Structure 1
């Protein structure tokens, strides 16, 4: 396995804006992404794991798509929670569309990677396909972005300087997004309305706001976002509940009421469906970038 042992993580990257933060056995490497990418990219970081012990994480729906460029050991398996082992996938670099349920990843450890979270409409521009084709799917990087993406991954792996890696990636992402399809303004407005309300807005009201029939909104929104407006609202409401549960003194009944669930039982059912666990366990485990350590 190739490692970036030549990088001294204790030395600031300095003028080129790279910051490294250690969390346990993992180094997280970040740099602000350029202004043209900011409407489309939600988060952007490199990872470098000092330990090579295997682990498993559960991924929960985030309302975002993910690009993972593997620079070291690939994930051994990525599978939908509850799926048979036969449906597991051996993967390297990959993309994951929007999800409406949990997924688990096994990893042998020693990962070195770049992980990019895209807004739904950023993913639509980058992937340039109907996003419903990627819903609840994990596919290889080449399958989603073509052979040029493999060349990029090889160049990133061959570069040991994180600032230079981010330079390469910024250029590639900006160029492809600039060529991508423009989302419908009505879909952009619908997504903003959902996001601002943490999902607590009826689909009928959104349709009226954007000037479309409800049926037409559902079709176009699902094509460009990947989830229906109703499912997107469900995911956004779930994430608001997760945020509230991590606050000191939070109680399940109060969180359920604040997020618009009928009662605590409804909150529990939604957490089971979307995360495969209970609200209490979810709060204790602490969600980090869509993942819960198992």
Structure 2
């Protein structure tokens, strides 16, 4: 697997976290891979063979070649049908809402073809340019031109939503929503409504995902004990950490390490 990341233009750096590419030669012995929620929305271009996502143990759907994957509330398995050559834009939680008018709660846990969001003709033109580009740098230039043009046509994120996301990102999801709102419960309903529209999920869900991401990176990189990881990630205790881990990933932390089905996620987060 060849996975690389690239930084966006400064004019987009507040909205786009990074670009990534993934190349995986086809091998009939490759295992299906589990994708884990990360709190981000991604626009992906599949430049070679098809990829399928499992919706049950045996049933699956085929990914669109060009799509947006909204916020994820659960893990899922994918499996390539041939060579993988993908280019993707990883948006910060409030990033993608600046480019479309569709409520982001409509995109949760589904793959949405880009023509459904940007129109058939602009989407097809963009897809062809990305396919015909000579290299990654050219693809970055193409997508940044597209995004900057779209950014000028849409309104920006509601301030309370942005403040909440910024706080959750800065504290790795460990700050409670009541603390962020300074116990002003009159703002809670407004925040929940706008958050789902502009982020896709609730503030509490995003906080849980971000805190899990912190613990997962520690698990992969630091080799600390589960007790220390739980403590440093500000879980109530180890049992609370394991419960959240199983909820989002479907395995215990110990089962995750060295699991062939987790190789891609390990590559992403290590």
The TM-score normalised by the length of structure 1 is 0.81
Paired with 1:153 and 1:105, the residues of 2 have a C-alpha distance of: 22
Paired with 2:220 and 2:191, the residues of 1 have a C-alpha distance of: 34
Change (3 A) 1:260 1:32: closer
Change (3 A) 1:259 1:186: same
Give secondary structure in 1 for the equivalent of 2:134. coil
RMSD: 2.4
In the alignment, which of 187, 193, 197 is matched to residue 161 of structure 2?
187
The answer for the alignment partner of 1:78 in structure 2 is 53
Paired with 2:90 and 2:170, the residues of 1 have a C-alpha distance of: 19
1:49-81 Cα deviation digits (max 9, x unpaired): 4x2225421111100001111221121x1245x
The answer for the alignment partner of 2:176 in structure 1 is 202
1:200-222 Cα deviation digits (max 9, x unpaired): 11111222388952122111112
8 Å contact from structure 1 (residues 66, 116) kept in 2: yes
The answer for the alignment partner of 1:273 in structure 2 is 247
In the alignment, which of 45, 48, 62 is matched to residue 69 of structure 1?
45
Alignment partner of 1:252 is 2:226: yes
Give secondary structure in 2 for the equivalent of 1:100. coil
Unaligned runs of 5+ residues in structure 1 are 1-23
The answer for the alignment partner of 1:11 in structure 2 is none
Q: How many residues align?
A: 262
Deviation, structure 1 residue 84? 6.0
1:73-99 Cα deviation digits (max 9, x unpaired): 121x1245xx36456345322211011
The answer for the alignment partner of 1:45 in structure 2 is 20
Paired with 1:29 and 1:150, the residues of 2 have a C-alpha distance of: 26
Deviation, structure 1 residue 29? 5.5
Alignment partner of 1:140 is 2:119: no
Deviates more, 1:101-110 or 1:239-248: 239-248
Give secondary structure in 2 for the equivalent of 1:121. coil
Give secondary structure in 2 for the equivalent of 1:127. coil
Change (3 A) 1:168 1:252: same
Unaligned runs of 5+ residues in structure 2 are none
Change (3 A) 1:240 1:29: closer
Deviates more, 1:135-144 or 1:218-227: 135-144
In the alignment, which of 98, 106, 121 is matched to residue 94 of structure 2?
121
Give secondary structure in 1 for the equivalent of 2:88. strand
Deviates more, 1:84-93 or 1:275-284: 84-93
8 Å contact from structure 2 (residues 37, 248) kept in 1: yes
Paired with 2:268 and 2:117, the residues of 1 have a C-alpha distance of: 22
The TM-score normalised by the length of structure 2 is 0.87
Paired with 2:100 and 2:267, the residues of 1 have a C-alpha distance of: 25
Alignment partner of 1:227 is 2:197: no
Alignment partner of 1:261 is 2:235: yes
8 Å contact from structure 2 (residues 69, 107) kept in 1: yes
